């Protein structure tokens, strides 16, 4: 018996091995061809050659250069000539001079330039022998100061290679789960960074930086030989290959394959031959899109199923109900409706709206089954609660935040803040013009700013625009739904927050108070709202973990030496800087915010409410008297819309017709010039305007309805998808909120289903995966996000990620195993506040009689 069992298992094992080997051999005969989208393609693999460029603002976002999409997963990025072994985000990136696609010769050429060194290189990628040849050409010898530093890099996104091995010239090695390579200290002169003046880490004043040693060196590397879906081989003809682990320097670093460019040579100076193992007849598994939160019995229920272009479409899908004895009972079988192709995948729709019985369900499509989800009348009741209960408290600046046995962070930035110097270009989009627009001298302390505010995102700056957006969303939620949930203890006097501990006060009012405190402090201390408050040093900006450890919490004292303290102040220049240039657009937006905050806080914190209204009127008057000096893109448009918003909020608060009349002067031309940007505020004004206003607005809502209908033709999800460097979830949330306002005012024109559609997308009915984009909300949700704890591959409950990043020309992505792509996974305050409003609005819709 045991012998027969052994022989049976052994026979199956041999057969499986032969199958894999045959698949391996056959797959390597497949050639890459340049497709209509101008990238290399074969069944199971794509190679993009500068379809996406390096970003001039954020530099290396790990979404540019030569990139591999391997069996549906982007596992290689950043192929380019670089100036460091393990480049960090702010190190110099090459500018794309030109890109030429030669379909006849099956090759793509790019020319790259480093203006800082007057250094150009040319990279040719050509399909040959079932793989690609990557060659680097130089017309001139590399500059002497780049000898031994300029090289060709290819970056492996680490997560697909965790617990995998490699062979370098036959010598085995393991891709480390945690960075373990040796490092060494080099002179700072060897560091080539866009922000070279900012120290890359807190090195206690030493003029040096850290460099990682190579894990392995040779001429041929086989990456992940045991995993046929991720296996890649690289052969270098002229220069050694070196394998580095960039995570030694930065947690968002990659595994890097690199060859140095030789000095004193021109022409073809580097040549790699690369083969990607591809599985013959590979097909991506279907993605059954659904709301992970579930569905209300009376709403439309449509699953959108994403299919590989080679996958034959099934005719039907089936809904099963899971009974209390664990058995699955077939509840409904429906014919699928084909939508067609969007980007690179095909889509079909499964409508099971007729099923209304509360219960636990799953969908079966061919051999694929979804996870379980629910249908119930209370599915939307508390979907917003984790965002208000946990995520926003964790983001509270100038407070200690506790949760049970965990301290999220101590009290940070008691040393806020210094005047940023003029004529200064900072990181993260901050800059100062030739004037400060304040009475303060450069690096002089501005008093009174160590109060209120939220960390904007996964970093720890205060961004006033985001604060305005968040406060306005909170006020809308309060005024529409009187959300009186109390699950957080917040004490401004002792700077202490305790999550899951009621204190007898509505949490949303406490959050409005906290955000408003910082904006009011800016105006009291400076005279106007500011662009933001951010750390001065790049090593601080990289900071992960507890924000209270980012500074010494002691005010800067220039009379003391660095790292010296008298117990009350410090000679360490770690205090955050205030970027103070004045913009009429920001004045108007802050006026709108403070006018709205007054209404919410008037019965809660009357002193702060009165200050808010006083400053709102002050900003309104001063902004109207100022010339348009906004430095943001499209200043006239933004200023007009911000003024319109301020006029409406001041009118609602004061009932003063001068504000109402100004709003009506602006709104119609704004709708004519850009309906999609003005329709939401026009709808918000409806309850406060006369019947003539509403009748005139009706024609614009009919036009808006057509735009909603057009979206259903543009993509299968019927939402405004965006293709840029930041995921589109904020746009989709605001679109759904606009639909909610339109439905409330014009239910005969705009259906409630358009509101459900937007939230269902956020909850999992979207491309690439079916995870809920809100951590800890829904059956399966985002568990790896870009927050202060991203290095732990974790999340903060209630955080809403940006969502899909669409890499040009056609690849949607939202990685769940690699948190460091902020365009996909960084959670910010404005979308989270808007999500609370939308989630609560959908619950109101679902429970309307």
pLDDT, tens only, 592-603: 999 999 999 999
The pLDDT of 138-155, averaged and rounded, is: 96
CB contact at 8 A, 20 and 277:
no
23 has pLDDT over 50 = no
The dihedral sign for the CA sequence 88, 417, 791, 290: negative
Confidence of residue 6 (pLDDT cuts 50, 70, 90): very low
Q: What is the pLDDT of residue 207?
A: 62
- Binned at pLDDT 50, 70 and 90, residue 261 comes out as very high
Residue 27: predicted pLDDT:
40
Q: What would the pLDDT profile of 792-847 be if each residue is shown by its tens digit?
A: 999 999 999 999 999 999 999 999 999 999 999 999 999 999 999 999 999 999 99
Q: Write down the mean pLDDT value for the chain.
A: 93
Q: What is the dihedral of CA 708, 714, 719, 721, to 10 degrees?
A: -130
Confidence tier at 627 by pLDDT (50, 70, 90): confident
Confidence (pLDDT) at 412? 98
Taking Cα atoms as reference points, which of 668, 744, 738, 749 lies closest to residue 705? 749
Across-strand partners of 112? 96, 121
Three-class secondary structure of residue 296 per DSSP: coil
Q: How far apart are CA 642 and CA 151, in angstroms?
A: 48
| Residue 20 pLDDT grade (very low, low, confident, very high; cuts 50, 70, 90) | very low
What's residue 56's pLDDT?
A: 72
**% of the chain exceeding 90 in pLDDT:** 88
Is residue 768 within 8 Å of residue 287, measured between CB atoms? yes
Cβ atoms within 10 A of the Cβ of 501, count?
14
pLDDT of residue 434: 96
Sign of CA dihedral 509, 510, 513, 518: negative
- Helix (H, G, I), strand (E, B), or coil: what is residue 67? strand
Asked if pLDDT for residue 715 goes beyond 50, the answer is: yes
- 631 pLDDT band, cuts 50/70/90, is low
pLDDT at 757: 98
pLDDT tier for residue 89 given thresholds of 50, 70 and 90: confident
Q: Over the stretch 682-706, which tens digit does the pLDDT of each residue have?
A: 999 999 999 999 999 999 999 999 9
Q: Is pLDDT of 153 > 80?
A: yes
Tell me the per-residue pLDDT of 471-508, one tens digit each, with 9 for 90 and over.
999 999 999 999 999 999 999 999 999 999 999 999 99
Predicted confidence band at 395 (pLDDT cuts at 50, 70, 90)?
A: very high
557 confidence band (pLDDT: 50, 70, 90) = very high
Q: Give pTM, 2 decimals.
A: 0.94
DSSP string, 785-826: -BSTTGGGT---TT-B----EEETTTEEE--SS-TT-HHHHB
- Whether 2 shows a pLDDT value over 70: the answer reads no
Q: How confident is the model at residue 59 (pLDDT cuts 50, 70, 90)?
A: confident
Asked if residue 102 has pLDDT above 90, the reply is: yes
Instruction: Write down the pLDDT at residue 638.
Output: 83
pLDDT band at 208 (very low <50, low <70, confident <90, very high): confident
What mean pLDDT comes out for the span 105-116?
97
């Amino acid at each position: 018996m045991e012998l027969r069992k052994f022989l049976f298992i052994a026979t199956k094992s041999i057969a499986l091995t032969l199958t894999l080997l045959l698949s391996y051999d056959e797959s390597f005969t497949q050639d890459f061809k340049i497709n209509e989208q101008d990238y290399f393609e074969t069944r199971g693999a794509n190679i993009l050659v500068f379809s996406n460029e390096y970003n001039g603002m954020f530099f290396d976002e790990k979404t540019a250069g030569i990139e591999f999409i391997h069996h549906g997963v982007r596992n290689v990025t950043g192929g380019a000539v670089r100036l460091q072994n393990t480049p960090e985000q702010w190190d110099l990136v090459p500018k794309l001079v030109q890109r030429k696609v030669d379909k006849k010769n099956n090759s793509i050429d790019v020319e790259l330039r480093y203006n800082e060194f007057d250094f150009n290189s040319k990279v040719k990628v050509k399909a040959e022998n079932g793989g690609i040849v990557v060659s680097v050409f130089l017309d001139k010898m590399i500059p002497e100061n780049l000898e031994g530093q300029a090289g060709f890099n290819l970056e492996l996104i680490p997560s697909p290679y965790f617990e995998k091995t490699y062979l370098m010239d036959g010598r085995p090695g393991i891709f480390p789960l945690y960075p373990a390579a040796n490092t060494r200290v080099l002179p700072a002169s060897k560091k080539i960074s866009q922000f070279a003046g900012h120290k890359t880490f807190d090195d206690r004043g030493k003029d040096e930086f850290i460099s990682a040693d190579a894990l392995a060196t040779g001429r041929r590397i086989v990456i992940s030989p045991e995993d046929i879906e991720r296996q890649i081989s690289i052969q270098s003809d002229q220069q050694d290959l070196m394998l580095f682990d960039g995570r030694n320097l930065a947690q968002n670093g990659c595994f890097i394959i690199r060859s140095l460019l030789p000095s004193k040579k021109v022409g073809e100076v580097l040549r790699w031959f690369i083969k990607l193992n591809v599985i013959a007849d590979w097909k991506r598994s279907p993605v059954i899109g659904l709301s992970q939160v579930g569905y209300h019995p009376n709403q439309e229920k449509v699953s959108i199923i994403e299919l590989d272009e080679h996958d034959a479409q099934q005719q039907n899908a089936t809904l099963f109900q899971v009974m209390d004895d664990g058995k699955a009972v077939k509840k409904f079988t429906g014919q699928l409706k084909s939508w067609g192709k969007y980007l690179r995948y095909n889509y079909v729709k499964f409508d099971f709206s007729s099923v209304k019985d509360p219960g636990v369900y799953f969908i079966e499509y061919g051999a694929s089954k979804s996870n379980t989800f629910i249908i119930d009348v209370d599915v939307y009741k508390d979907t917003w609660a984790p965002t208000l209960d946990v995520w926003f408290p964790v983001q509270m600046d100038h407070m200690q935040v506790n949760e049970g046995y965990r301290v999220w962070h101590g009290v940070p930035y008691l040393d806020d803040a210094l005047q940023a110097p003029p004529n200064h270009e900072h990181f993260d989009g901050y800059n100062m013009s030739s004037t400060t627009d304040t009475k303060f001298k450069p690096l002089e302390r501005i008093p009174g700013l160590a109060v209120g505010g939220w960390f904007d995102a996964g970093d720890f700056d205060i961004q006033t625009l985001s604060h305005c957006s968040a406060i306005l969303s909170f006020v809308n939620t309060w005024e529409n739904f009187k959300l009186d949930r109390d699950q957080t203890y917040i004490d401004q006097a002792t700077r202490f927050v305790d999550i899951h501990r009621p204190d007898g006060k509505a949490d949303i009012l406490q959050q409005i108070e906290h955000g408003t405190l910082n904006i009011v402090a800016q105006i009291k201390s400076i005279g106007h709202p500011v662009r933001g408050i951010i750390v001065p040093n790049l090593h601080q900006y990289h900071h992960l973990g507890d924000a209270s450890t980012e500074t010494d919490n002691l005010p800067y004292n220039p009379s003391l030496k660095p790292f010296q303290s008298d117990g009350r102040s410090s000679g360490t220049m770690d205090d955050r800087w205030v970027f103070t240039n004045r913009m009429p657009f920001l004045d108007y937006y802050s006026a709108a915010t403070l006018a709205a905050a007054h209404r919410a806080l008037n019965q809660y914190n009357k002193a702060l409410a009165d200050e808010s209204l006083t400053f709102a009127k002050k900003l309104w008057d001063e902004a109207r008297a100022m010339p348009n000096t906004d430095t943001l893109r499209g200043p006239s448009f933004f200023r007009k819309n911000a003024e319109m918003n301020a006029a409406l909020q001041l009118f609602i608060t004061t009932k003063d017709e001068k504000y109402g009349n100004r709003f009506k002067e602006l709104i119609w031309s704004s709708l004519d010039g850009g309906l999609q940007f003005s329709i939401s505020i026009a709808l918000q004004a409806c309850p406060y305007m006369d019947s003539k206003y509403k009748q005139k607005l009706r024609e614009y809502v009919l036009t808006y309805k057509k735009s909603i209908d057009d979206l259903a033709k543009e993509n299968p999800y019927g939402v405004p998808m965006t293709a840029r460097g930041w995921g589109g979830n904020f746009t989709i949330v605001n679109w759904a909120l606009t639909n909610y306002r339109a439905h409330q005012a014009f239910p005969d024109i705009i259906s409630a289903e358009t509101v459900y559609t937007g939230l269902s997308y956020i909850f999992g009915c979207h491309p690439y995966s079916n995870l809920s984009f809100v951590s800890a909300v829904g059956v399966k949700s985002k568990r790896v996000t870009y927050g202060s704890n991203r290095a732990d591959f974790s999340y903060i409950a209630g955080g809403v990620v940006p969502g899909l990043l669409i890499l040009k020309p056609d690849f949607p992505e939202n990685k769940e195993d690699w948190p460091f792509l902020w365009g996909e996974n960084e959670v910010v305050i404005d979308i989270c506040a808007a999500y609370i409003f939308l989630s609560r609005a959908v619950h109101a819709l679902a429970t309307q009689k």
